[in-house]
Amino acid sequence: MTEVKREVFGHMPQEEGGGMVEKFVLKSDSLQVEILSLGCIIAALETKSRDGEFSDVVLGFDTLEGYTRKHPFFGAVVGRVANRIAKGRFTLDGKEYQLFLNNGPNSLHGGAKGFDKVLWSPQVLPNGVCFFRLSPDGEEGYPGDLKVWVTYTLSGGELAINYRAQTNKTTPISLTNHAYFNLAGQGSRDIYDHEISIEADSYLPVDDTKIPTGEVAAVQGTGFDLRQPVELGKHLQKFHLDGFDHNFCLQQAQARRLVARARHPPTGRAMEVHTTQPGIQFYTGNNLDGSLKGKGAVTYPKHSAFCLETQNWPDAINKPHFPSALLRPGEEYNHTTWLSFSAA
């Protein structure tokens, strides 16, 4: 059985339009998840170790104030288009669209005020919560009125996140959740003792602004071959990598499939990622620098968390040979990602 509780988390500042932010607590025997109506943010996720000890394994803040200030998308749903669009530009049906540039020369995670910074309308379900919002035509430069539903449901040790959307004009869309995980418990110093595997035969090399070059490269014989579990710290050293911030290309199937696994041997905690999406961005918190004070006043240094963001491939709107990121009127965008937690 899953218990669902709702409570007030805080109020948005007036300059942000005001409004009450609610927190939804989803609880099963083995997992407790806290989700905010601001940005559909996963604010906490507590899971057991092999000794039965619960720890919160996602980075974030204790109060609303942390989330209303600048932060690296902790726990949030990002959109309309997750990841980067080169020069914030794309052409659709002969018309050029220019987006806000918020990541060097590129547009990242929806722009200046993406889905992570807005209030969503919640509806409580027997085993979870469904958030809805209408992203109006022209919001952040994107075409079309886009209706979006994000549904979190909890069943035992598994959290499912379903994304649905409908539009009245053709628009690019790619939605993901940007939770930062550390299976040793949030606030732990690094993720070097984690074992990671990703079921991908290829990945996307990027230029120095993190935009895919267009090449779909084989992982075989490179530091990007994560098909067998690697201990992250040793692997980064071996291949002289500063960290990962890359899209791994998944088998193209609409069905649910296992795409990644993270394990923390000292506590026995493990997390599996299953999805219907065509890509997964593996990010090792390279830009965390210890300047943010998170939950319990801990700081988050570089490599103190990882993200496994299921999504479409970055800059797909400008790369015709990538999986299409377009949603047309009369169609429905519908993807699900499942996060399964266990301990052994």
Catalytic residue among 178, 194, 235, 303: 178
- Residue 68 backbone phi and psi in degrees, to 5: -85, -15
Catalytic residue among 34, 46, 272, 309: 309
Rg (CA), the chain: 19
From residue 16, how far is each of 13, 114, 159 by CA, in Å?
Answer: 5, 13, 30
- Does residue 178 have an active-site annotation? yes
* Nearest-angstrom CA–CA distance, 186 and 58: 6
Give the CATH number of the domain where residue 321 resides: 2.70.98.10
Per-residue pLDDT of the chain (344 residues; tens, 9 = 90+): 999 999 999 999 998 889 999 999 999 999 999 999 999 999 999 999 999 999 999 999 999 999 999 999 999 999 999 999 999 999 999 999 999 999 999 999 999 999 999 999 999 999 999 999 999 999 999 999 999 999 999 999 999 999 999 999 999 999 999 999 999 999 999 999 999 999 999 999 999 999 999 999 999 999 999 999 999 999 999 999 999 999 999 998 889 999 999 999 999 999 999 999 999 999 999 999 999 999 999 999 999 999 999 999 999 999 999 999 999 999 999 999 999 999 99
- Does residue 96 have an active-site annotation? no
Residue stretches of the annotated binding site for beta-D-galactose = 83-84, 178-180, 245
Residue stretches of the annotated binding site = 83-84, 178-180, 245
From residue 264, how far is each of 194, 341, 344 by CA, in Å?
Answer: 5, 11, 10
From residue 300, how far is each of 30, 109, 240 by CA, in Å?
Answer: 26, 21, 23
* Domain total in the chain: 1
- Domain containing 193 equals 3-343
Beta bridge partners of 129: 124, 152
pLDDT of residue 310: 98
pLDDT of residue 17: 85
pLDDT of residue 196: 98
pLDDT of residue 253: 82
Look at the pTM and tell me if it is higher than 0.95. Answer: yes
pLDDT of residue 108: 95
